[in-house]
């Protein structure tokens, strides 16, 4: 079975985010004064061949832990859903 996994990787709250600060600054220049606390993370989509959603979830978490996220600085969350066959 093919599953689609979405992995969201975010910086831990204690880690400074210069990219988020720069984006916030740019938004302020565009007069988005209502926006604060901008933080930038990564969003990774992938397809996983696995016998069950639980296996797909475990493979995605393992990949996030070993490669996609830096466990010292980043947190991640994984969402898995079945790929709908076309037609």
Can you give the binding site for a second copy, defined by CB under 8 A? 8-10, 20, 23-24, 26-27, 30, 32, 34-50, 59, 62-63, 66-68
Q: How far is the CB of 67 from a second copy (least distance, A)?
A: 6
Task: Report the residue number, 13 or 87, with the smaller CB distance to a second copy.
Answer: 13
Distance CA 74, CA 87 (A): 39
Distance CA 33, CA 1 (A): 47
Q: How far is the CB of 68 from a second copy (least distance, A)?
A: 7
Task: Report the residue number, 27 or 53, with the smaller CB distance to a second copy.
Answer: 27
Residue 38: Cβ-neighbour burial (10 angstroms; 0-12, 13-18, 19+):
middle
Q: How far is the CB of 69 from a second copy (least distance, A)?
A: 12
Using the Cα atoms of residue 20, residue 17, residue 37 and residue 9 in order, give the sign of their dihedral.
positive
């Amino acid at each position: 079975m093919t599953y689609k996994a979405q992995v969201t990787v975010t910086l831990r709250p204690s880690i400074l985010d210069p990219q988020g600060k720069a984006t916030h600054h740019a938004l302020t220049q565009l007069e988005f004064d209502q926006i604060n606390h901008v933080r930038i993370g990564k969003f990774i989509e992938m397809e996983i061949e696995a016998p069950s959603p639980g296996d797909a979830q475990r493979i995605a978490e393992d990949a996030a832990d070993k490669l996609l996220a830096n466990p010292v600085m980043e947190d991640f969350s994984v969402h898995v859903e079945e790929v709908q066959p076309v037609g």
